[in-house]
Amino acid sequence: MARLSSGSRSWSHKAACVWLALVVLVAGLAGVLPLPYLPSVPDLAHIAQPPFATSQHWLGTDPQGRDVLSVLVFGARTAVLLTLPAAALSALLGALAGGAAGFWGNKARLPVPYWLLATGGAWWALRLPIPTLALVIAAGGLVVAALARLRQRPFPTWAVPINAIVMGTATTLDTIPRLILVVAVAAGAGVSSAGLLGLLTLTAWPHPARLVRAQMLRIRELPFVEAAHAAGLPAFQVWFRHALPHALQPLRTAMPLSVASLLGLESTLSFLGVGLPPEVASWGRLLSTVRQEPAAWWLFLFPAICLIFTILSLLNLSRQQPVAA
């Protein structure tokens, strides 16, 4: 990886932080900023105006007469509201799934009464035929639990192959490139903003899950985990309170990269016209309008600068993390 000198490192780090803070600030204040035109209101009298040509449109307008500056501001809001939650949710999901897969492997054992209760509950929830059978199964689970409690014997257990389930799902999702998968599902199911957020989360979690799992495989062999086991803590507590916080370490570097790749994916989707509805302002959609108007350099330059600066700042942030830590 590229190593700059220490002086320029701190300088570029500061610039990256300032730029990202600016983007988030603008995104947060998009609703109250004194913009003369909203991106949803086209100014049909001024179509494809160059920047500074008219006093109202500082950065010009696109072929539909929308103000470039306000599209940039609201596009920042779309980007922040979509990529940050998606990155956070996928990191959370990946940490839980990958952490569980790494800690227990395929050897987690769930007592049989819980199996019976879960089966009965699922039966009831799915409304499979003969609903009384679900009640019978669940009641059987309770009876077995009570009997085992009364006779002071440990529950009989069955294994849950957590590792196989998590890694199998992750491998399945990784088989097809994310862009193709998201395009196919987004077209098939027809998504809103919230649906797209869920879709991005669903396709982004395998990467953090792999990272956390790999770290967890190392952590679970360390003495402090053994000490926690020896102190008699339940396995869930050892996992959640002791092992998991240490296994989250790689996510600190991976989070900015994940946000950057999600930002790239979101703008690519908007550029292709898949996913977000057309009235939502987005940098990618603004970039796609330049193809109708090849002479309009301002339609390419300003959103491209926003996108490139944001992505490079995120890269810089992820590279600086180990130094700052």
Partner 1 sequence: MNWLVFWRLARTGLAVWALASGIFLLSHHDLSGAARMATPDAADLPMSGSANPSATQQQATTRAILQRLGAGLPLFYLSRPPAAHPGQWHWNGRRNQYHRWAIALLHGDLGTSFRTGQAVTTQLSNALTLTLPLTGTAAALAVLAAIFLARRLAAGPWWQRPVRTALAGLHALPLFLVALALLLLLANPEALDWFPAYGFDQALDTDADFWTRVATYALHLALPVTALVITALPELTLQLDTALRHELRAGYATTARAKGLAEGAVIRHHAFRNAVLPTLTQVAELLPALVAGAVVVEVVFALPGMGSLLAAAAAARDYPVLVGGVLLTGTARLLALLLADVLYFWADPRIRWHV
Q: Report the interface residues with partner 1, using CB under 8 A.
A: 1-4, 126-129, 131, 171-173, 175-181, 183-190, 260-261, 264-265, 267-268, 271-274, 284, 287, 290-291, 294-295, 297, 300, 304, 307-308, 311-312, 314-315
User: What is the smallest separation between the CB atom of 1 and partner 1, expressed in angstroms?
Assistant: 6
Query: What is the C-alpha to C-alpha distance for residues 175 and 15, in angstroms, rounded to an integer?
Result: 37
User: What is the smallest separation between the CB atom of 256 and partner 1, expressed in angstroms?
Assistant: 10
CA 17 and chain centroid, separation: 21
- Of 13 and 220, CB closest to partner 1: 13
- Of 37 and 123, CB closest to partner 1: 123
- Of 1 and 230, CB closest to partner 1: 1
| Residue tagged 């396995």 (tokens) | 235
- Of 24 and 173, CB closest to partner 1: 173
User: What is the smallest separation between the CB atom of 120 and partner 1, expressed in angstroms?
Assistant: 16
- Of 187 and 222, CB closest to partner 1: 187
27: helix, coil or strand? helix
Positive or negative, the Cα torsion across 317, 318, 323, 325?
A: positive
- 83 CB neighbour count, 10 Å cutoff: 25
Phi and psi, residue 52, nearest 5°? 60, 10
User: What is the smallest separation between the CB atom of 261 and partner 1, expressed in angstroms?
Assistant: 8
Nearest CA among 103, 325, 86, 324 for reference residue 212: 103
4: tokens are 């700059």
User: What is the smallest separation between the CB atom of 262 and partner 1, expressed in angstroms?
Assistant: 11
- Of 128 and 222, CB closest to partner 1: 128
User: What is the smallest separation between the CB atom of 297 and partner 1, expressed in angstroms?
Assistant: 7
Nearest CA among 73, 51, 74 for reference residue 299: 51
Helix (H) and strand (E) counts in the chain: 14, 2
Q: What is the distance between the terminal CA atoms of the chain, rounded to a whole angstrom?
A: 18
